[in-house]
Each structure stands twice: as C-alpha cells, then as structure tokens.
C-alpha cells in the first residue's frame, strides 16, 4: 500500500505552515524555546481529545506499554524538542527556505540510524540518492556572501544548527517508529495516535519544567501569543499525527525522503510570504536535494 506516501506529503504540508508560524513567533515575541513550547502545549489538548473520541467510538483501549516503548518515546520526544529549538534559532541566521533545507539533511541520518537501531534496510539506489543529497548540503553550507572553503562553511553557526537539527530529527523519527512498533497489531492510525499523545505530553512536561527553571516569564509570553500560537498547536497536531502514521507503515528514512517535498513548499513560503530572496546557488542546492528525494522514491 502506498497510502504512506500521501500521508507523508500531508505531514510535510502541515509542518511547513507550522514552521512559518513559529518563525513569526520567534521574530516578534518568543524565544526559540518559547516558540518550541507553544507547539506542544497548544497541541496536547486537541490530541488527547481526539484520541479519547477515537477510543470511545472504536471500543478499543490503550494497551499496556512496555519499557522499550517508553525508552523509544522519551528519546524521540527529547530529540524533537532540541531539533525544533535548533531550527527556530536557525531562522535568525539564514532565510526560511535555506533553514528548512539544512533541516532536511535528517533523511541521510535517519537512513543510517534506522539501519543501526531498527535494522531497516535500503537499496543501493537509495544510498546513491543520499549521496546526491550530501552534495546539495555542501553547496548550501556556503555562507551568504559565498566566501570561504566548503569545510570552513560547515563550521559556521547556520550550518551547525541546520546539521544538528537534522541529526536530532533523525533520532526522533527512529525513536517514534521504534515506539510505534512496540504497540503490536493495533491499526496504524491508532498506534500513531497513542504514540503521539504520550510523546506530546512528555514534551509539554519537559519544556514546562525547563522554562520554569530558566525563564518563567517566557511561559506568560507563550500565553500572550496564543492567537497565533494556537494555530502552531493545530498544525503541529496535524503534521505530527501524519508523521507518526507514516512511521507506523513504512521505513522512517523513506517517509522522511518523501517529506522532503517540504523544501518546495518552504521555497514558496520564503518568496511569497516572507519576501526573502533566494540566490542561484541556493536554488541549485535545493534542486539537487529534490533530485535526491525523487531518486529515493524511485528506489522503493
């Protein structure tokens, strides 16, 4: 079944809108940590309510959760928090489209991590497509003025935040797939819903504790920004559910590869909404990443 492809595309669409809203929040009123917290705290009530309704209508119940489930879910949730903070901070360094492009290096790390942790296999054609993606990353790693050697540009703050977010998102993707697989024979949508509800509650609790210790006033600012932040929560819920559903159905690296369609959506958002200029070199780099995506899909 190829439903996971359409679910992955839906996830990419939701995620693009959510990052656009977080970019607005981080540039106007909230810190990267506050913008990240907003996506969890405003999505948790909706996720829990929808899961409750689904369980009531279907007559099913949440199964007993193993220790392995909690380990995978906790690692995935913490990695996603750190990755999201990196991406929001990255938006202050480079434009929206390039920031998302750096984040999408996650597909490379997800393939490697999925192989090591879960034993998810990929074909030679898929690995070849990943090498094309690596080339794109090197092109995009150059600073906006085009100065410096490629290895020097990999050490600048924008590159470090982008590549770091990619690694962390890879850990979250593999963690979520691992947690979902612990739920046995439940239907894929229910496995996704249960995993998502638990992970978001963990993430909300972790972020709340962090902000209470480091910056209590940021919690107040998150509430004050609720008119925009609630939409962050809703789009986060839609995107996260679709990612979790797709992870329940397919190898996490393939899901993330199809999700690279987010690059094209972020390019449109960068030009149409944020009025940012994209250089020719950045277009070439993003074009290579698109070729890498198509190569991975064709290698299925």
Give tens-digit pLDDT for 204-236. 999 999 999 988 998 988 888 888 778 878 888
Percent of the chain residues past pLDDT 70, beyond the cut: 78
Q: At what angle do helices 67-90 and 3-28 cross, to 10 degrees?
A: 50
Confidence band of 179 (pLDDT split at 50, 70, 90): very high
Cα 227 to Cα 17, 80, 121, 200, 276, distances in angstroms: 15, 24, 44, 20, 25
Q: 71-87 pLDDT, tens per residue?
A: 999 999 999 889 878 87
The residue extents of the domains of the chain are 3-298
Give the tokens for residue 275: 């009025």
């Amino acid at each position: 079944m190829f439903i996971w492809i359409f679910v992955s595309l839906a996830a990419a669409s939701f995620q693009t809108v959510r990052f656009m809203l977080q970019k607005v929040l981080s540039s106007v009123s909230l810190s990267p940590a506050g913008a990240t917290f907003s996506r969890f705290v405003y999505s948790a009530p909706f996720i829990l309510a929808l899961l409750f309704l689904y369980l009531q209508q279907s007559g099913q119940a949440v199964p007993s959760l193993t220790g392995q489930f909690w380990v995978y879910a906790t690692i995935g949730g913490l990695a996603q928090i750190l990755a999201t903070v990196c991406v929001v901070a990255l938006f202050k360094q480079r434009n929206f489209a390039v920031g998302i492009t750096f984040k999408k290096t996650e597909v490379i790390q997800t393939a490697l991590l999925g192989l090591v942790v879960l034993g998810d296999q990929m074909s030679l054609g898929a690995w070849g497509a990943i090498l094309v993606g690596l080339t794109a990353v090197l092109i995009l790693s150059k600073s906006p003025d085009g100065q410096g050697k490629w290895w020097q540009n990999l050490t600048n703050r924008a590159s470090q935040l982008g590549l770091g977010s990619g690694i962390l998102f890879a850990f979250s993707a593999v963690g979520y797939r691992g947690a979902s697989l612990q739920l046995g024979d439940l239907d894929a949508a229910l496995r996704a819903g249960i995993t998502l509800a638990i992970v978001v509650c963990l993430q909300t609790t972790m972020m709340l504790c962090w902000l209470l210790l480091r910056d209590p006033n940021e919690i107040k600012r998150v509430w004050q920004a609720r008119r925009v932040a609630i939409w962050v929560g809703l789009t986060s819920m839609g995107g996260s559910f679709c990612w979790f559903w797709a992870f329940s159905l397919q190898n996490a690296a393939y899901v993330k590869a199809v999700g690279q369609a987010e690059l094209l959506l972020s390019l449109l958002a960068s030009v149409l909404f944020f009025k940012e200029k994209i250089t020719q070199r950045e277009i070439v780099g993003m074009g290579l990443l698109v070729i890498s995506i198509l190569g991975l899909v064709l290698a299925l």
